């Protein structure tokens, strides 16, 4: 959107058209809601872990409830946004959708594949477990709807296995988010005591949002290959003239840096969460934080 092509070179005609392209509202809503879910399950999981270890304070239960309520709203909402996003992607990037669903031949009545091992050599799915007509219904809202297959795009489609499995990881995380949030909400609003099993499940879901977001970005970025600008500019045409050693060295450096940040982040959260409410209050008072801040554990 918003470009012109002259002698093989892309020129910008309208930044507004580029930014507010047809996929913009769906991507923005999908990512924003995913960020809310990530935060909600971080809060809920940390509070559940504290309650399990009996180092919770007077505000922990309120924070747990806040996270659960946000997740109860945002998790089902993400299904609706994802459906709209999928319809938009089917229109503008049909090869990505074909890879996500593992569809090889253009057909109607396309089943949804729960599990399979996509094989690009044989152009088929091995050991497939399928739900009849479900992919057509999900993608076109018609059980007899036609879905274009990967064979229609020859070599102009993404690596299938990576996109196929990343999409299923994202779906699995989203399903677990709905189950855990509504399970927690059911216990909270019935004024029952939170069960140890729920607290364990919620604590295991602490970092689920990051897994879901990361798998979603694999689908998005790997799914548009081999294109940088879909249908116009290939990734291979944008590759810089660097040696393999430079690329590998940069990649390893990034991995080590992000691993360090990840370990430090998790270690810090664990350290803070294992301290009792009384210890946190003493620490806040020692640091000169007003007592009104510690009453609700806002610090």
> pLDDT tens-digit profile of 135-167?
999 998 888 888 998 998 877 899 999 999 999
CB 283 within 8 A of CB 291: no
In sign, the C-alpha dihedral spanning 96, 35, 53, 266 is: positive
Comparison of pLDDT for 266 and 281, the residue scoring more: 266
pLDDT computed for residue 189 by the predictor = 86
Closest to 78 in 3D by CA, of 36, 130, 134? 36
Q: Give the Å distances, CA to CA, from 245 to 8, 211, 236, 241, 272.
A: 31, 30, 18, 12, 41
Smallest CA-to-CA distance from 101 within 4, 155, 166 is with 166
pTM of the model: 0.84
For the segment 55-100, what is each residue's pLDDT rounded down to a tens digit?
A: 888 888 899 999 999 999 999 999 999 999 999 999 999 999 999 9
Percentage of residues in the chain having pLDDT higher than 70: 92
């Amino acid at each position: 959107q918003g470009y012109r092509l002259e002698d093989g070179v892309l020129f910008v005609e309208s930044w507004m058209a580029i930014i507010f392209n047809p996929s913009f509202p769906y991507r923005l809503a999908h990512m924003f809601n995913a960020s809310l879910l990530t935060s909600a399950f971080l809060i809920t999981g940390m509070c559940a872990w504290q309650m399990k270890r009996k180092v919770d304070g007077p505000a922990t239960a309120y924070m747990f409830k806040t996270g659960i309520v946000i997740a109860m709203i945002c998790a089902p909402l993400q299904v609706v946004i994802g459906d709209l996003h999928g319809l938009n992607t089917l229109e503008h990037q049909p090869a990505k959708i074909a890879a996500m669903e593992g569809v090889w031949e253009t057909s109607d009545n396309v089943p949804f594949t729960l599990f399979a091992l996509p094989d690009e050599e044989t152009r088929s799915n091995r050991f497939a477990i399928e739900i009849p007509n479900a992919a057509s219904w999900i993608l076109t809202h018609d059980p007899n709807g036609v879905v274009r297959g990967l064979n229609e795009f020859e070599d102009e489609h993404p690596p299938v296995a990576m996109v196929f499995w990343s999409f299923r990881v994202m779906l699995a995380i989203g399903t677990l988010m709905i189950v855990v949030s509504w399970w927690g909400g059911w216990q909270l609003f019935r004024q029952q005591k939170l069960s140890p099993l729920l607290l364990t499940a919620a604590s295991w879901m602490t970092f689920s949002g990051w897994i879901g977001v990361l798998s979603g970005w694999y689908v998005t970025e790997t799914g548009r290959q081999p294109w940088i600008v879909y249908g116009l500019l290939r990734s291979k045409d944008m590759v810089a003239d660097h040696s393999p050693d430079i690329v590998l060295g940069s990649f390893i450096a990034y991995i080590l840096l992000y691993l360090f940040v990840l370990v430090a982040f998790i270690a810090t959260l664990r350290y803070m969460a294992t301290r009792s409410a009384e210890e946190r209050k003493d620490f806040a008072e020692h640091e000169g934080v007003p007592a009104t801040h510690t009453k609700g554990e806002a610090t």
